[in-house]
Structure 1
Amino acid sequence: MSTFLFTLVDGGGNVPAQLAIARRLAGRGHTVHVLADRVLADAVESAGCRFLTWTCAPQHNMRDRAADTVRDWEPSSPPAQLRRIGEQVMFGPASRYARDVLDAIDRTTPQALAVDCLLFGAMAAAERSRLPAATLFHYPFHAPVEGFTPLGFGLKPARSVLGRARDAVMLGLARRVFAFGLPPLNEARVALGLPPVAFVFEQLLRLPRALVLTSREYDFVPSGLPAHVRYVGPQLDDPSWPEPWSSPWPDDAGEPLVLVSLGSTYQRQDEAFRRIVEALGALPVRGLATLGSLAAPSWAPPPNVRLVASARHASVLPHASAVVCHGGHGTVLKSLAHGLPVLVMPFGRDQKDNGARVEACGAGLVTSPRASTQRIASDLRRLLEEGGFREAARRMAEVIARDVREDRAVAEMEALASTLPAASP
């Protein structure tokens, strides 16, 4: 058996995806340490892993609006939101994350490492260690290689000279937007004895493996995908904290069930959530709307809609007919895994890009977070009445089921660990 070290930050949907792999490795008899924020201690231990916490690096809790120190929802412009995440998590504390990772390696002597793609300092430390290591991409692939589709804009793949020119412009824009992250990242790299990089996202490809936690058929796979980048399929575990759902409606209720899930972290969803609930009230459906990070509203929902703090997706989705969500990768892939059409309302981060992929595979629609109640109702009616959306979602469900069966994520991590001799028991 081998020893693994995972490094993880509490960023919302990234957590259950990566802990799913750690859990299955632990279930196979391996020793798995997870270096993460203190708020994740119970989730880590529930997964059968051994918890370590950051001591030099900052502590984060993005699920709690009051405790959230990143607060990327405060700036109004997407570049400012990205800068906030970069300064607080990705690049600003790079040296501090690197020190903690090297200390954890000394304490746990792992055969292999798994590093959250949000933690650039942790990736640099893994590179310095020369241990077998993988960067885990918990949303669509976004490293700058030939033929990649720039992330963050909800773009479709380039199909022409004009499209390739568009991508070149977007890449140049990304270089400028993330230029602030280069000094702290390179400071960490130089302190580790590593050469500086010219663009922060070069760091994403410098470990022996990059594992993309989604289905290849879902993503826009670049033509120049490096050989060490592997698509290993989505990780469909729910977080440990939502409650299992029990339907308040009779078993023979005839109206279709629509789930509303706008994420576990706050992104100013309040008004959009209200309009979605109003739209459900205008349709012949049953609506289940999860509040997530939102406070209980002062307004009353329509009679056909139930508001709950949270609900475990695995217990709701088998009964649902459609999903309205923010476009978080985990929620989208879980919905598609159940063959459900999705209405994506993106608020930031990777959500526009997931929406673009949902539309490209024909399994749903994208609408603005400023969409009117009438527009939301119209889009939902299309998803429920036009069979093509459900057919496309069912095709994607077959792909996802295959990926789940093959479990390439665990196979890749075990293969990495096997390149070093196992520690003595």
Structure 2
Amino acid sequence: MQVLLVAIGSHGDVLPFIALGTELKRRGHAVLLAAPAPFADMADRAQLAFHGLGTQAEYDGFVAEPNLWHPRRGVRVTFGFVSALTEPVYRWIAAKWRPGEGIVAASTLSLGARVAQDKLGLPLVTVHVMPVLVESRHAPPILPGLPLPSFLSARLRHWIGRGADTYVIGPAALPGLNAFRAKLELPPVRRLRHWWNSPLRVLLGFPEWYAEPQPDWPRQAVQVGFPLADRCGDVDELTPTLAAFLKAGDPPVVFTYGSAMRQGQSFFDAAVRICRRMGRRGILLTPQDGQVPADLPPQILHAAYAPLSQLLPHCVALVHHGGIGTVAQALAAGIPQLVVPVAFDHFDEGQRLRRLGVGSVLSRHRFTPSRAVAKIERLLGNPDVTRACAMARARMLAENGVRTACDAIEDLRAVATRSSGAA
């Protein structure tokens, strides 16, 4: 079977698709991956046929934009990048897809794939890797820049959240999308967060115990669990320097603010002071130059990258932005998490961790050494948190999101054949 994979976003968006592609190729399928150009090396290491979207310079400009990390203004920056790739994605799929021979699986923001489904009738699987992408009147996710109090009813919070479609998401995403659809003689999209779900199948990359299924979720949605994929990254093992540091003392606290973050200097400055106050060792993870203090004490190590599945089991806690891939790795390691949310799904993930009893949240503006130390020490000293982390780790060991997602894609072969015939 031919499988065309499309992923648009940063490492956390692309890595799961590289993992899916690796497993599907192992099963004997012909896999082609389209993703932003900077991920060519990662695809090459996974031995996946790769088509680069855009250029390195365009991607660098996107992630370097300061407004990308604003809870509200980041939406416009994101969809500016997405809109530029919508037509290239459509053209690539139209050129590569062979009717009756395969399936397309695409990330949420791969809007060109969804357009191709509407125009060409091809079988498309939409993959949402975070719960914030799925609407619900019963359990509305927390949208960035919209901190609604929990005492409001779920329906009211959902209704207020729908305003984001009208005043934030729609104006940022729909003009460019609908201009392209008009060229293809397709009707305009009215509401993106409804349309971006494939009518054929939606895969949700998180388990039921993390985000309970809701009665008003799309009927074609299937939860497959977290597609853990960090060993498809820049390196798949700990470096000798990092391994030696872990062996040289007590388990450290790990600090990371995401692979694409360019404005993390204050976060890492605070991380150094947190470690000093706690008398603990620390690891600062960031690939970007200029974000970490130049003269680190010997008990703190800076690493550009490390596969979290190999690192976190040797650590005592994780302080991070709240990206879903990072969340999942800490759950698998069974360690508590302090989330300092920035934008996107970070606020929603933080609240889910708090409800599970495995983490806490501290706003970016309140992230000071004294407050962070108090939060971390409460997490480490609470036996209920320890038990909740152990339970999460056991649940993660019992699941394999990549394998389950690939099973679901293979199960659609008959549906895809009927869909192609109808088209």
Distance 2:8 2:206 in 1: 19
Q: Which runs of 5+ in 1 are unaligned?
A: none
Q: CA deviation at 1:72?
A: 4.3
Q: CA deviation at 1:175?
A: 2.3
Distance 1:212 1:22, change over 3 A: same
**Does the aligned pair in 1 maintain the 2:145–2:343 contact within 8 Å?**
no
1:388 paired to 2:384: yes
Match of 2:216 among 193, 214, 224: 224
Distance 1:299 1:75 in 2: 26
Q: 1:277-320: per-residue Cα shift (whole Å, max 9, x none)?
A: 21012113221111233436444223421112222212211211
1:238-387 to structure 2, matched below 5 A, reads 238=230, 239-242=232-235, 244-245=237-238, 246-249=242-245, 251=247, 253=249, 255-295=250-290, 297-370=292-365, 371-387=367-383
Q: Which runs of 5+ in 2 are unaligned?
A: none
Distance 1:210 1:171, change over 3 A: same
2:176 counterpart letter in structure 1: P
1:17-416 to structure 2, matched below 5 A, reads 17-54=16-53, 58-59=54-55, 67-74=60-67, 77-89=70-82, 91=83, 93-105=85-97, 110-153=101-144, 162-180=153-171, 181-238=173-230, 239-242=232-235, 244-245=237-238, 246-249=242-245, 251=247, 253=249, 255-295=250-290, 297-370=292-365, 371-404=367-400, 407-416=403-412
Q: 1:331-386: per-residue Cα shift (whole Å, max 9, x none)?
A: 11011011111111111121111111111111000112231111111111112211
Distance 2:68 2:398 in 1: 40
After the TM superposition, which of the residue ranges 322-331 and 160-169 deviates more from structure 2? Answer: 160-169
Distance 1:318 1:46, change over 3 A: same
Distance 1:296 1:198, change over 3 A: closer
Partner of 2:413: 417
After the TM superposition, which of the residue ranges 392-401 and 75-84 deviates more from structure 2? Answer: 75-84
* Partner-residue secondary structure (3-state), 2:62: coil
Distance 1:154 1:362 in 2: 24
Distance 1:100 1:186, change over 3 A: same
**Does the aligned pair in 2 maintain the 1:114–1:135 contact within 8 Å?**
yes
Specify which structure has the higher proportion of helix: 2
Percent of paired sites with the same residue: 24
Distance 1:300 1:79 in 2: 35
* Partner-residue secondary structure (3-state), 2:76: helix
Q: CA deviation at 1:157?
A: 10
**Does the aligned pair in 2 maintain the 1:92–1:185 contact within 8 Å?**
no
**Does the aligned pair in 2 maintain the 1:7–1:101 contact within 8 Å?**
no
Distance 2:93 2:23 in 1: 22
Q: CA deviation at 1:5?
A: 0.4
After the TM superposition, which of the residue ranges 244-253 and 94-103 deviates more from structure 2? Answer: 244-253
Q: CA deviation at 1:200?
A: 1.4
1:247 counterpart letter in structure 2: A
Distance 1:219 1:286 in 2: 33
Distance 1:105 1:250, change over 3 A: closer
* Partner-residue secondary structure (3-state), 1:169: helix
1:17 counterpart letter in structure 2: P
**Does the aligned pair in 2 maintain the 1:321–1:340 contact within 8 Å?**
yes
**Does the aligned pair in 2 maintain the 1:358–1:365 contact within 8 Å?**
yes
Q: 1:179-226: per-residue Cα shift (whole Å, max 9, x none)?
A: 222222223334334332221112222341111111121125333122
Q: CA deviation at 1:132?
A: 2.1
Distance 1:312 1:376, change over 3 A: same
Distance 1:142 1:278, change over 3 A: same
1:310 counterpart letter in structure 2: Y
Distance 1:402 1:61 in 2: 41
Q: CA deviation at 1:102?
A: 1.5
User: What is the total number of aligned residue pairs between the two structures?
Assistant: 413
Distance 1:22 1:341, change over 3 A: same
Distance 1:114 1:184 in 2: 22
Distance 1:59 1:139, change over 3 A: farther
After the TM superposition, which of the residue ranges 296-305 and 336-345 deviates more from structure 2? Answer: 296-305
Q: 1:87-141: per-residue Cα shift (whole Å, max 9, x none)?
A: 221x4543343223212325x9851110111121222113333222211112225
Distance 2:65 2:131 in 1: 20
**Does the aligned pair in 1 maintain the 2:227–2:401 contact within 8 Å?**
no
After the TM superposition, which of the residue ranges 407-416 and 121-130 deviates more from structure 2? Answer: 121-130
